[in-house]
């Protein structure tokens, strides 16, 4: 197998489980040293680091709540202290506490904004500053969503954050292009992880979501690893400001 990220240092937020963990392992499989941020799941973070090390790469787990801007600078500093540089930054951490619109609690709305969008902003800014100081470019990938493009009845607080991330990558692609830093997003469809475990416990909804997917199944976290590694790698050297749907075709399936 050609190793696409040989010698690179990759940072991933929210990577103790789910898509973030799959991206971290995918990067290690392609020859990268990987630093992960995690919020509470110490066991998951330690297991992810062990898996990275078992692939012959260096791994580091740094605890921190991304909604606090100081977490961003601390994460980038810890990774730089450990590995000497930051080549790739994957903004993945996110929450989606499904809730109806008309009685959305203020704190649920604000928390979702702070984690998914404010957190991403400060993380991307911290990683970008490190890359600019290094002077040899880099790649930033945001885990946005199909929900940047379509709505969700119980996601009125969440879909704007995913549209915001998509937009953030477009604007940072312009702001950082002169530094050789590429900024792109992946837009996953419905991927089976903890974030939607309760929502998809409703078998009727789960079947309906799966039936919309031309490839015939809901996604697995590993389905995101390849697209993220691709965007991080030099194979995508002229790709910036782009977004890649990774949804088994769900978005285009109108009729």
Q: Which residues are part of the catalytic machinery?
A: 145, 158, 162
Cβ closer to ligand NAD: 86 or 115?
115
Among residues 12, 48, 115, 228, the one that binds ligand NAD under rule CB under 6 A: 115
Q: Which does 67 bind (CB under 5 to 8 A by kind): ligand RM4, ligand NAD, none?
A: ligand NAD
Among residues 196, 233, 240, 243, the one that binds ligand RM4 under rule CB under 6 A: 196
Q: Are 84 and 33 in contact (CB under 8 A)?
A: no
Cβ closer to ligand RM4: 57 or 190?
190
Among residues 160, 188, 227, 248, the one that binds ligand NAD under rule CB under 6 A: 188
Among residues 12, 17, 128, 173, the one that binds ligand NAD under rule CB under 6 A: 17
Cβ closer to ligand NAD: 11 or 66?
66
Cβ closer to ligand RM4: 162 or 182?
162
Binding mask 87-106 for ligand RM4 (x = CB under 6 A): ---------x----------
Q: Are 10 and 130 in contact (CB under 8 A)?
A: no
- Residues 133-162 interacting with ligand RM4 (rule: CB under 6 A): 145-147, 152, 155, 162
Q: How far is the CB of 149 from ligand NAD (least distance, A)?
A: 11
- Residues 60-99 interacting with ligand NAD (rule: CB under 6 A): 65-67, 92-96
Q: How far is CA 127 from the centre of its chain?
A: 14
Cβ closer to ligand NAD: 14 or 31?
14
Which residues are near ligand RM4 by CB under 6 A?
Answer: 96, 145-147, 152, 155, 162, 190, 195-196, 199
């Amino acid at each position: 197998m050609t190793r696409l990220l040989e010698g690179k240092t990759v940072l991933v937020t929210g990577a103790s489980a789910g898509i973030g963990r799959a991206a971290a392992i995918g990067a290690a499989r392609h020859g990268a040293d990987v630093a992960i941020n995690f919020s509470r799941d110490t066991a998951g973070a330690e297991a992810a680091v062990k898996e990275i090390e078992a692939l012959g790469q260096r791994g580091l787990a740094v605890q921190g709540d991304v909604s606090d801007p100081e977490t961003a600078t601390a994460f980038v500093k810890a990774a730089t202290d450990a590995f000497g540089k930051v080549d790739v930054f994957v903004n993945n951490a996110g929450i989606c506490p499904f809730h109806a619109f008309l009685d959305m609690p203020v704190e649920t709305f604000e928390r979702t904004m702070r984690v998914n969008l404010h957190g991403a902003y400060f993380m991307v800014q911290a990683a970008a500053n490190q890359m600019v100081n290094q002077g040899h470019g880099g790649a930033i990938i945001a885990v946005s969503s199909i929900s940047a493009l379509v709505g969700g009845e119980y996601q009125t607080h969440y879909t704007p954050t995913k549209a915001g991330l998509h937009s953030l990558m477009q604007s940072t692609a312009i702001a950082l292009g002169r530094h050789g830093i590429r900024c792109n997003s992946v837009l996953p469809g419905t991927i089976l992880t903890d974030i939607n475990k309760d929502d998809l416990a409703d078998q009727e909804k789960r079947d309906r979501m799966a039936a919309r997917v031309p490839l015939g199944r809901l996604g697995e976290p590993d389905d995101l690893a390849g697209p993220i590694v691709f965007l991080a790698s030099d194979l995508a050297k002229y790709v910036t400001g782009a977004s890649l749907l990774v949804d088994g075709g769900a978005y285009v399936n109108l009729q």
